[in-house]
């Protein structure tokens, strides 16, 4: 089967396929077992059957199905493997795996592990020990020899490291380990990058004791690394490299991230065909560039494609020096005022605390500023001048402004870009022929070349440079008459700049023009920070603690326990496992330690020329697939088909279609149910006892009465409310339900707008809890109508009270009763349905007490007083229920006192008014004002 | 896969008797047509204890002139009178009952309530109960001779339960004419065989009532798929590859057999009743009852023929 990527683990089993014809013959001869049936009219059937050709053989397709099934089983037993991989030849006394796990392996580490796993697996099946070593691990890491499973554990524990490999040291250890295992197969899983000492390392590894070399390498090193990220004047210059000799063009995108990991800029680097390096400029505003914390190449998950940035590529620190301290009172005349205003947005301004230059300059230099601006500083003290010169030589930018002091101070070759004539030159003025000069086009060689000359700037006074041969190239800006306005020169690594005018608007109006800001900005961008700010904090600290490390996958991570403090010193710092790339320092200032430096290249690793047999294998995931499972599954599927076919032929499906269909549906449902979980049929049953009662109570408005426990009182209450209900139905639009008796200790009260409470002295006193419920009911908007029914049984005299009244007082003592008053004549109760002057019940004469409407006013003599709310309490002694009470036939049950039929009518009307008041509140009191309101509206 | 049909154990005769009685209680008393006395239809046996046409001696009576009866000269020779010998009026009719005891009757399909044998026995015993209630003489070929008893059904049931194996096809030649015979069977033998067997009845002038007890599965043939059929009597086996393919043709043959038999019976003036075991036994009972009682012209014509035969 060479044309198929298929191989068999046990090809001998395939001979079993020869049995297929036998199976075919057997299958052809063996029909399916019939269903046996007793059948008395067999003789009749026999006459029919004689003519029918009994199928003695299975149908051909069933035979084919079964043959296929048998063939599949045979094939499955032969352990077929699709896409088989080459096995490591079973020779050699041991397997030595040397695996590069440097930064370059991070991107395809999985493949490398898979390759190594295969090798270890083969070694395990060959039963040879395995030496496994990683080239970017600590030098004391265990390398074996292990047995295969331990080696696998080591392999799985290993991870790529964000550091370069150290082949010589590790290979030496492996070679030492192989001393005891001569004739080992050496498998080199290299990262494809050449490093120093490779030749010697390979020689050491392969010279002795190696019987065979397995060389695993990727086809091509597809790494891209970022070797430079430089904050320049107009953008961030990026340099990326790739392995040389790649004929295809390539494009990578670099992204810049701030310290929170947010992407704030990107740029595309294009590798020309065959080129190994590419550059690009990330053109973003200077302010934004200051926020860059790291730059990474997209899609490259390895440490080489990430550069962290430290202070040296950030906001410039600018030191300001002036000798005119006295000018503080007049800020606009302060020489540094305009400079400060101009630089504040894009530079850190540093000012010395001392006015004495001898103190001030060292103070400034200690802050390692990128630039120092001196506003009209004449002579610089000798003791600090050398430090300043050194600072400039190392890259500092010194910007000086002219002024009377400078003009008087004379020349300073070290710290001025040009020689100056002593004294200043005045342009214009009463005694001068000249006029103030404008600024012309900026010279092309200066940093201001792309600025347009400010037409509004006029220079009336300046210091003049001595004409020298190089004056032209040092001139950054000139006046219209050709004299330099700004001169500058490179001095060693640093820059000296001189503005030939003062930094305030006395000599010219340049400092108050927008061009001044732009010019200063260009100069600032030219400057370079002179070291990290940590210098001032722990300037003398010997080492920097690890702060943020670049992980092997290119992510910034907290430092690992292996990371050691970085000792800054002369020369490039090596990237080691102790000092992995990343940021060192602390939050206040960091030092960037990057994996690649500007001179890095990706030299490809070549296979060492050795006399050993060499097997080259690619890095790849194991793609071989064991087909045993799928084949068995197919055979099982065919078996199911066969079963169904036999059922069909046996007539099961035809004989009991409905039952089979139902059973099939059932089975499918059961399976589906099993698959998709069981539907949660149990719905929360939130019904509670008493729901029906509650629904009944709130479906209709019902008037409630308190069940006192005295049967006579309760029956009269019920009959009374029944009578009132009838009257309401008869006279009003309100159709209440049957009256509800409530037990105030237990029943829910909030369903009822009004609770009628006949006070009976003989009834048991309600419990405190019940009274608290009543209180809550009243607070929540309910109304209780207390009826003492003792209008005529009160004792004579103010102090005397009937037992019912006493009881009422007892009850009310525990309630929050508002101030009460008898219903005033303009209360809405008197108008809510019928106009009623009084509220008689069975008795007449007792006032109806309601909550005193204290705030209510009736200033304009309206029919009803205004006021909000419904009284939560009403007290009467007139025995309303007695007057309302009717029996089944609607006849009054109790006589009124005095027996006046109209009094009963009035009592019922009082009940109607109370109910209406309950349900409509002060609506009626507003309603009676409608004519007045309409009149006001002019209707 | 459950079978459709099965062979059941023979039904307990006592059980069949109980069920037969239950069926019989639903049917009015069976008045068998006394074919020879067309003009008298008397129920019960009491009215028949008188002279009449019969085979057995009843009395000698003096000859009166004009008497159509022949003078019994042997008796008359004893004294001076001439006598006529009267015979007992044998009005009580003899009804032979027979239920097929063959193994094929034990078949019961899933759709049927009872086995054919059970149904046949119930029908036979129910008839026995009816007939004995009416005072008829009943008999079971190969088992009992005709007898008259109130508890005829019980006696037959008792005899059946003690009889052991009965012949599948009893000899019917002993049955004389003017008798009725009720044959309950499935009549699944080839029609020619059945006819040959029953031909003796036709020749003797026996009126036969054939009740075919049929199982629904035999009639509808609900089998499908590869099926091996076994004959419960002979043990023969037949295997059908696709049983459902045979159904149509089988049904035709099955029905043709029944129709042929029914036509033959009709020609002989016999009744042919089909009773399915998934239906009620009473249906067949009522139909046979109807057939045995007087049926107008048809019965009269039979009587005429019988009269002629007597003459």
Query: Which residues does chain A have within 8 Å of residue B188's beta carbon, measured at their own beta carbons?
Result: 40-41, 43-44
Residue B46 domain-assigned?
no
A898 prior amide bond cis, ω within 30? yes
The mean-pLDDT minimum among A71-85, A252-266, A474-488, A723-737 falls in A71-85
Residue A909: the pLDDT is 92
Residue A89: the pLDDT is 58
Closest A-chain CA to B243: A651
Residue B205: the pLDDT is 82
Query: What is the C-alpha to C-alpha distance for residues A568 and A579, in angstroms, rounded to an integer?
Result: 11
Q: How far is CA B148 from CA A205, A229, A415, in A?
A: 124, 131, 160
CATH number at residue B136: 3.40.50
B173 shares its domain with B207:
yes
Query: Which residues does chain B have within 8 Å of residue A649's beta carbon, measured at their own beta carbons?
Result: 225-226, 242
Residue A684: the pLDDT is 55
* Contacts of residue A19, Cβ cutoff 8 Å, sequence gap at least 6: A70, A74
Please state the domain count of chain B. 2
What ipTM, to 2 d.p.?
A: 0.71
Chain B residues bordering chain A (beta-carbon distance below 8 Å): 1, 3-7, 104-105, 107, 116, 186, 188-190, 215, 218, 222-234, 236, 238-246, 249-250, 253-254, 257
Query: What is the C-alpha to C-alpha distance for residues A375 and A322, in angstroms, rounded to an integer?
Result: 5
DSSP A246-299: --S-EEEEEEEE-TTS-EEEEEEEEEPTT-SEEEEEE---HHHHTT--EEEETT
Could you give the domains of chain A?
A: 95-221+604-623 (3.40.50.410), 315-528 (3.40.50.880), 691-931 (3.40.50.12140)
Query: What is the C-alpha to C-alpha distance for residues A57 and A42, in angstroms, rounded to an integer?
Result: 23
CA B83, B84, B85, B86 dihedral sign is negative
Task: Categorize the per-residue pLDDT at A705 as very low, low, confident or very high, splitting at 50, 70 and 90.
Answer: very high
Closest B-chain CA to A645: B225
Looking at CA atoms only, how far is residue B285 from chain A in angstroms? 24
Look at B107 and A36 and tell me if their CB atoms are within 8 Å.
no
B269 prior amide bond cis, ω within 30? no
Look at B229 and A650 and tell me if their CB atoms are within 8 Å.
no
Task: Categorize the per-residue pLDDT at B42 as very low, low, confident or very high, splitting at 50, 70 and 90.
Answer: very low
Look at A40 and B242 and tell me if their CB atoms are within 8 Å.
no
Summarised one tens digit per residue, pLDDT across range A337-347 is 888 888 877 77
Looking at CA atoms only, how far is residue A70 from chain B in angstroms? 24
DSSP A334-348: -TTHHHHHHHGGGEE
Nearest CB to A41: which of B1, B224, B254? Answer: B254
Closest A-chain CA to B7: A38
Look at A38 and B236 and tell me if their CB atoms are within 8 Å.
no
User: Best mutation site among B231, B252, B258, B260 for testing chain A: the one with the most A CBs within 10 Å?
Assistant: B231
Chain A residues bordering chain B (beta-carbon distance below 8 Å): 31-49, 51-56, 649-652, 654-655
Q: Is A572 helix (H, G, I), strand (E, B) or coil?
A: coil
Residue A535: the pLDDT is 43
Look at A40 and B246 and tell me if their CB atoms are within 8 Å.
no
Look at A44 and B6 and tell me if their CB atoms are within 8 Å.
no
The yes-or-no verdict on residue B307 having pLDDT over 50 is no
Query: Which residues does chain A have within 8 Å of residue B230's beta carbon, measured at their own beta carbons?
Result: 36-39, 42
B55 shares its domain with B140:
no
B170 shares its domain with B119:
yes
Over residues A506-533, the mean pLDDT reads 77
Task: Categorize the per-residue pLDDT at A58 as very low, low, confident or very high, splitting at 50, 70 and 90.
Answer: low
Residue A795: the pLDDT is 56
Nearest CB to B229: which of A39, A56, A650? Answer: A39
Nearest CB to A49: which of B215, B226, B246? Answer: B246
B82 shares its domain with B109:
no
Closest B-chain CA to A37: B229
Residue B42 domain-assigned?
no
Over residues A537-541, the mean pLDDT reads 44
Summarised one tens digit per residue, pLDDT across range A581-595 is 888 877 766 777 887
Look at A655 and B222 and tell me if their CB atoms are within 8 Å.
yes
Query: What is the C-alpha to C-alpha distance for residues A374 and B46, in angstroms, rounded to an integer?
Result: 161
B251 shares its domain with B197:
yes
The yes-or-no verdict on residue A729 having pLDDT over 80 is yes
Structure-block tokens of residue A440: 């012309």
The yes-or-no verdict on residue A455 having pLDDT over 80 is yes
Nearest CB to A650: which of B7, B225, B230? Answer: B225
Domain that holds residue B65: 51-88
Closest CA to A300 of A246, A231, A221, A245: A221
The C-alpha angle A632, A637, A638, rounded to 5 degrees, equals 95
Over residues A511-530, the mean pLDDT reads 80
The mean-pLDDT minimum among A597-611, A898-912, B105-119, B293-307 falls in B293-307
Count how many residues are written for chain B.
311
The yes-or-no verdict on residue A5 having pLDDT over 70 is no
Query: Which residues does chain A have within 8 Å of residue B7's beta carbon, measured at their own beta carbons?
Result: 38
Q: Is A351 helix (H, G, I), strand (E, B) or coil?
A: coil
Query: What is the C-alpha to C-alpha distance for residues A132 and A872, in angstroms, rounded to an integer?
Result: 91
Task: Categorize the per-residue pLDDT at A677 as very low, low, confident or very high, splitting at 50, 70 and 90.
Answer: very low
Which of A530-544, A608-622, B192-206, B287-301 shows the highest mean pLDDT? B192-206
B120 shares its domain with B242:
yes
Structure-block tokens of residue B38: 């067309």
Structure-block tokens of residue A221: 């090193």
Residue B44 domain-assigned?
no
HEC profile of A643-674: HHHHHHHHCHHHHCHHHHHHHHHHHHHHHHHH
The yes-or-no verdict on residue B35 having pLDDT over 60 is no
How many Cβ contacts (< 8 angstroms) between chains A and B?
125
Summarised one tens digit per residue, pLDDT across range B45-101 is 434 555 666 666 778 888 888 877 788 888 889 888 888 888 766 556 788 888 888
B59 shares its domain with B10:
no
The yes-or-no verdict on residue A69 having pLDDT over 60 is yes
Nearest CB to B230: which of A39, A52, A53? Answer: A39
Percentage of the residues of chain A whose pLDDT score is greater than 90: 2
B140 shares its domain with B268:
yes
B207 shares its domain with B244:
yes
B67 shares its domain with B175:
no
* Contacts of residue A43, Cβ cutoff 8 Å, sequence gap at least 6: B188, B189, B190, B231
Residue B141 domain-assigned?
yes
The yes-or-no verdict on residue A653 having pLDDT over 80 is no
Residue B13: the pLDDT is 75
What is the C-alpha end-to-end distance of chain A, expressed in Å? 106
Look at A52 and B244 and tell me if their CB atoms are within 8 Å.
no
Query: What is the C-alpha to C-alpha distance for residues A711 and B114, in angstroms, rounded to an integer?
Result: 72
B264 shares its domain with B276:
yes
Residue A540: the pLDDT is 44
Residue A656: the pLDDT is 54
Nearest CB to A35: which of B7, B186, B228? Answer: B228
Nearest CB to B225: which of A42, A44, A652? Answer: A652
Kind plus residue range of the DSSP H or E element containing B56: strand B51-62
Residue B45 domain-assigned?
no
B70 shares its domain with B141:
no
Residue B158 domain-assigned?
yes
Dihedral of the CA atoms A703, A706, A710, A714 (nearest 10)? 0
- Mode of pairing for the β-strands spanning A80-82 and A625-626: antiparallel
Summarised one tens digit per residue, pLDDT across range B206-250 is 888 899 999 888 888 888 877 888 888 888 888 877 778 788 888
User: Best mutation site among A30, A31, A33, A35 for testing chain B: the one with the most B CBs within 10 Å?
Assistant: A35
Residue A314: the pLDDT is 66
Residue A85: the pLDDT is 64
Summarised one tens digit per residue, pLDDT across range A408-448 is 776 777 788 888 887 777 777 777 777 888 888 888 888 88
Task: Categorize the per-residue pLDDT at A652 as very low, low, confident or very high, splitting at 50, 70 and 90.
Answer: low
The yes-or-no verdict on residue A110 having pLDDT over 60 is yes
Nearest CB to B188: which of A41, A47, A654? Answer: A41
Residue B214 domain-assigned?
yes
Q: Is B230 helix (H, G, I), strand (E, B) or coil?
A: strand
Q: How far is CA A200 from CA A102, A171, A188, A885, in A?
A: 19, 10, 15, 121
């Amino acid at each position: 089967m060479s044309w198929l990527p298929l191989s068999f683990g046990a090809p001998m089993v395939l001979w079993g396929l020869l049995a297929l014809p036998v199976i075919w013959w057997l299958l052809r001869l063996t029909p399916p077992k019939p269903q046996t049936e007793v059948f008395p009219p067999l003789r009749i059937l026999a006459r029919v059957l004689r003519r029918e050709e009994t199928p003695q053989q299975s149908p051909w397709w069933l035979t084919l199905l079964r043959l296929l099934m048998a063939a599949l089983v045979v094939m499955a037993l032969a352990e077929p493997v699709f896409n088989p991989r080459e096995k490591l030849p079973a020779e050699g006394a041991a397997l030595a795996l040397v695996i590069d796990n440097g930064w370059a392996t991070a991107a395809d580490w999985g493949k490398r592990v898979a390759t190594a796993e295969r090798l270890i697996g083969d070694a395990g099946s060959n039963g040879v020990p395995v030496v496994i070593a990683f080239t970017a691990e600590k030098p004391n890491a265990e390398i074996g020899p292990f047995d295969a499973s331990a080696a696998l554990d080591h392999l799985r524990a290993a991870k790529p490291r964000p550091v370069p490999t150290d082949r010589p040291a590790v290979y030496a250890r492996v070679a030492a380990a192989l001393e005891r295992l001569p004739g080992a197969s050496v498998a080199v899983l290299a990262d494809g990058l050449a490093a120093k000492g490779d030749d010697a390392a390979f020689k050491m590894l392969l010279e002795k004791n190696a019987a065979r070399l397995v060389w695993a390498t990727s086809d091509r090193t597809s790494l891209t690394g970022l070797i430079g990220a430089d904050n320049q004047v107009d953008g961030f210059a990026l340099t990326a490299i790739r392995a040389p000799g790649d004929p295809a063009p390539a494009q990578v995108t670099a992204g810049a991230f701030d310290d929170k990991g947010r992407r704030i800029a990107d740029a595309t680097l294009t590798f020309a065909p065959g080129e190994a390096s590419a550059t690009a400029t990330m053109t973003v505003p200077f302010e934004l560039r200051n926020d860059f914390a790291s730059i990474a190449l997209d899609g490259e998950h390895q440490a080489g494609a990430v550069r962290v940035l430290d202070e040296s590529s950030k906001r410039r620190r600018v030191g300001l020096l002036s000798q005119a301290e006295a000018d503080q009172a007049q800020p606009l005349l302060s020489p540094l005022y305009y400079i400060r205003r101009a630089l504040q947005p894009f530079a850190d301004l540093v000012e010395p605390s001392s006015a004495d230059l001898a103190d001030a300059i060292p103070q400034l230099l200690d802050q390692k500023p990128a630039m120092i601006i001196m506003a009209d500083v004449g002579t610089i003290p000798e003791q600090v001048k050398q430090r300043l010169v050194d600072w400039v030589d190392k890259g500092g930018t010194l910007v000086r402004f002219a002024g009377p002091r400078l003009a008087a101070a004379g020349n300073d070759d070290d710290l001025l870009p040009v020689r100056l004539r002593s004294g200043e030159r005045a342009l214009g003025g009463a005694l001068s022929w000249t006029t103030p000069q404008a600024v012309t086009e900026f010279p092309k060689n200066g940093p201001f070349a792309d600025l347009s000359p400010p037409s509004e700037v006029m220079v009336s006074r300046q210091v003049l440079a001595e004409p020298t041969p190089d004056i032209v190239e040092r001139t950054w800006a000139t006046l219209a008459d050709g004299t330099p306005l700004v001169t500058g020169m490179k001095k060693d690594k640093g820059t000296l700049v001189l503005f030939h005018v003062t930094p305030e608007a006395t000599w010219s109006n340049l400092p108050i023009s927008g061009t001044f800001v732009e010019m200063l900005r260009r100069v600032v961008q030219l400057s370079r920070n002179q070291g990290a700010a940590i210098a001032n904090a722990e300037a003398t600290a010997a080492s920097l603690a690890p702060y943020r490390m670049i992980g092997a996958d290119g992510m910034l991570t907290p430092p690992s326990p292996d990371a050691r403090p970085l000792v800054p010193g002369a020369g490039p710092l090596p990237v080691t496992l102790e000092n992995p790339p990343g940021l060192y320092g602390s939050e206040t200032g960091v030092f960037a330690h990057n994996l690649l430096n500007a001179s890095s290249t990706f030299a490809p690793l070549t296979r060492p020329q050795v006399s050993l047999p060499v097997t080259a294998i690619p890095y790849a995931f194991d793609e071989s697939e064991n087909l045993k499972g799928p084949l068995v599954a197919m055979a099982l599927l065919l078996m199911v088909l066969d079963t169904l076919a036999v059922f069909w032929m046996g007539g099961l499906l035809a004989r009991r279609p409905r039952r089979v269909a139902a059973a099939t549906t059932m089975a499918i449902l059961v399976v589906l149910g099993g698959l998709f979980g069981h539907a949660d049929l149990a719905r929360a049953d939130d019904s509670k006892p008493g729901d029906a009662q509650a629904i009944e109570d709130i479906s209709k408005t019902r008037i409630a009465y308190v069940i006192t426990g005295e049967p006579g009182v309760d029956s009269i209450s019920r009959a009374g409310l029944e009578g009132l209900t009838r009257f309401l139905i008869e006279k009003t639009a309100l159709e209440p339900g049957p009256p509800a008796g409530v037990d105030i200790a237990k029943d829910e009260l909030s369903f009822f707008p009004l609770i009628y409470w006949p006070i009976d002295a003989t009834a048991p006193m309600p419990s405190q809890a019940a009274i608290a419920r009543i209180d809550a009911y009243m607070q929540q908007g309910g109304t209780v109508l207390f009826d003492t029914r003792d209008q005529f049984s009160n004792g004579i005299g103010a102090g005397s009270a009937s037992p019912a009244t006493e009881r009422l007082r007892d009850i009310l003592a525990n309630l929050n009763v508002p101030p009460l008053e008898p219903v005033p004549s303009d209360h809405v109760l008197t108008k809510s349905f019928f106009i009623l002057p009084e509220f008689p019940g069975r008795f007449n004469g007792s006032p109806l007490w309601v909550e005193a409407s204290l705030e209510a006013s009736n200033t304009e003599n309206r029919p009803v007083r205004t006021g909000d709310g419904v009284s939560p309490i009403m007290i009467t002694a007139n025995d309303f229920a007695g007057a309302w009470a009717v029996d089944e036939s609607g006849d009054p049950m109790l006589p009124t006192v005095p027996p006046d039929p109209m009094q009963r009518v009035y009592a019922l009307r009082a009940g109607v008014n109370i109910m209406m008041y309950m349900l409509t509140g002060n609506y009626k009191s507003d309603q009676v004002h409608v004519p007045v309101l309409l009149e006001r509206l002019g209707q | 896969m459950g079978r459709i049909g099965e062979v059941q154990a023979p039904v307990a005769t006592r059980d069949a008797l109980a069920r037969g009685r239950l069926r019989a209680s639903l049917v009015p008393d069976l008045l068998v047509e006394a074919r020879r006395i067309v003009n008298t239809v008397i129920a019960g046996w009491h009215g028949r204890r008188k002279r009449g046409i019969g085979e057995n001696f009843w009395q000698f009576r003096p000859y009166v002139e004009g008497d159509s009866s022949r003078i019994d000269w042997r008796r008359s020779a004893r004294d001076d009178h001439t006598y006529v010998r009267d015979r007992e009026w044998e009005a009580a009719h003899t009804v032979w009952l027979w239920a097929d005891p063959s193994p094929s009757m034990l078949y019961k399909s899933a759709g049927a309530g009872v086995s054919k044998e059970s149904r046949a026995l119930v029908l036979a015993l129910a008839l026995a109960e009816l007939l004995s209630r009416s005072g008829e003489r009943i008999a079971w070929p190969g088992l009992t001779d005709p007898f008259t008893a109130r508890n005829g059904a019980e006696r037959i049931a008792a005899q059946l339960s003690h009889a052991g194996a009965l012949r599948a096809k009893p000899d019917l030649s002993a049955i004389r004419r003017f008798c009725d015979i009720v044959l309950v069977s499935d009549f699944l033998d080839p029609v020619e065989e059945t006819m040959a067997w029953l031909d003796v009845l036709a020749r003797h002038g026996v009126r036969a009532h054939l009740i075919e007890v049929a199982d629904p599965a035999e009639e509808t043939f609900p089998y499908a798929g590869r099926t091996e059929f076994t004959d419960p009597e002979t043990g023969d086996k037949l295997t059908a590859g696709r049983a459902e393919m045979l159904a149509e043709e089988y049904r035709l043959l099955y029905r043709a057999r029944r129709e042929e038999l029914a036509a033959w019976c009709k020609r002989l003036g016999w009744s042919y009743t089909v009773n399915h075991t998934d239906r009620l036994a009473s249906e067949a009972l009522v139909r046979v009852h109807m057939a045995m009682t007087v049926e107008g012209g048809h019965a009269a014509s039979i009587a005429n023929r019988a009269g002629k035969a007597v003459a």
